[in-house]
Structure formats: structure tokens, C-alpha cells
Structure 1
Amino acid sequence: MKYKLNYNNLKKILIVAGLGLAYYIWLKLTGLALKCPMYAISRHHIKCPGCGISRACISEVHLDFAAAAHYNIVFFIFQPVWAVCIVMWLFDCGERFRRVVSIISLAALIVFFVLRNLPFVPVY
């Protein structure tokens, strides 16, 4: 079976990657980061499942993987699987695998959201 690159999906990935790079440069030049709306609205009591992803990505750029895992462990663990899903999406294949990964990822993020907001569980 021969797979063909989906150029529309490639454009989308390049746009997202470009935005990520622009945000990284913005952070390095200004030190101003986007704040999590949920964390701000809850007056710093509730962290969403995405809190820490920017810091995790910056830590990975600096090859500090321990810090990246500390900032958002679910994001850190699932990144390789999501990368495989993105490659499969680029070639329009593996729809069932991508659907299963999406369901498992969503479940993991929900559990992470609950655990990281319990006062007696040491999850960041």
C-alpha cells in the first residue's frame, strides 16, 4: 500500500509549528507568557490539564526533560504517541489508531485534571 502526503494537513502543521516558534521567540524576547484562563478565573486554585505545557515545551527545547515532565506529565508522556498520530494524519492513514489514541488521551487528561487539583495528591 502506497501512502501519499496530504499537503493540506502539512500546511496546517506548518502553521501551528510557525505559531509555536513565534510564541517561543516572543517569550524569549519579552518574558511575557499567556496565562491560563481557568487558573486566573479560579484565583490560582484550579489548574487545567494544559497548565504547564508552554513551560514543558521550553524545557524540552533546552533538553531539560525532568523539568518538562514536572510541568505537565501527561503532555510529556503522550508526546511520542501524538507525534505518530500526526505523521499518520499527514498520510491519511491509521484512522482507527488515531481514534483510540484520542479516546485514551482524553481519559488521561480528565483523570490528570482531577488528580492535579486534589489537595492531597502530589501531581503538578
Structure 2
Amino acid sequence: MLINWHKLSPTWKSRWLWGTSLTAGGVLYLKVLAPVFNLSIPCPFHALTGLYCPGCGITRVITSLMDFNLAQAFRFNSLLFLLLPIYVLYSVLRLKGYKKFSDYVMFVMLVLTVSFGILRNIPMFSWLAPVQL
């Protein structure tokens, strides 16, 4: 899909440039800088408490998805795969003007996220914790 640059409004041009730049910077970091210089993004919550937050493993999920390794990405943080379709539902409801229903869906996403964050730190649910490489 080609973008007709001349027909875009200045706002969309700016958004497109920022989005492209941030995506390119992220790919450069994850695929070049991080492996070469052994850089990683530490989780401040995990560093302070020793517990896993709901977002622990997201950087490794993105790296695994860039390598087309869906199974490994799921092992790092399965919550993202659960929240993605729910977020699409939330966005559609919001765009259609169903604010009340979209608020319920947002509440469900919040409960799932908090529950996931708690459960992945309980030994019985240790399989929810991100896999250590």
C-alpha cells in the first residue's frame, strides 16, 4: 500500500513520520544494539520488589515476534495475546459510540491485567512468569 504523501494533512504527515521513526528506532535497538552491546530494558518494578509485573517480558515478546517465534513470545508474556482481541473489541465499541459497553470492556482488561500480575507471582501459577533465558 503506497501513501499519497501530497494528499495527507500536516497532522497525518507528522504522525506518519513519528510512527515510522519510532518503529525504525525500536527495530534498530532490538535487532542491532541490544544483541551487540548486550543491552536490555530492566523492569523497575521487578528490580525493586523481585516480583513480576504484568508487563515483564514484553521486550522479549516483541523480539520473538520479530523472529516469527510465536510460541516463545507466548511463553514470555501470554497476557498480551489475551488482551489484543479484547482491545480490538474495545476500540470498535468506542468508535461506534458505545461508551458504556466500551467502559465495561476496559474494566475487564484492567481486572485481567491486575489478576495476571498477581497470579504470575504465586508459586502455583509460576508457569505465567516470563521464561528466563
Is there any run of 5+ residues in structure 2 with no aligned partner, and where? 1-9
Instruction: Give the number of the structure whose alpha-carbon radius of gyration is greater.
Output: 2
Q: Secondary structure in 2 aligned to 1:103? A: helix
Identity %: 26
Which structure's relative contact order is higher, taking Cα pairs within 8 Å and 6+ residues apart?
1
Amino acid paired to 1:58 = T
| 1:35 paired residue number | 42
Shift of 1:33: 2.5
Q: Distance in 2 between matches of 1:13 and 1:83?
A: 21
Report the equivalent of 1:24: 27
The unaligned stretches of length 5 or more in structure 1 are 1-6
- 1:18-68 superposed Cα distances (whole Å, 9 cap, x missing partner): 5354223212121122111011112xx201101111211222222211111
TM-score normalised by L of structure 2: 0.67
What is the count of residue pairs matched by the alignment? 115
- Residue 52 (1) aligns with residue 57 (2): yes
Partner of 2:120: 116
Aligned Cα RMSD in Å? Answer: 3.2
Aligned AA (1:22): G
Matched to 1:81, the amino acid is I
Q: Which amino acid aligns with 1:35?
A: P
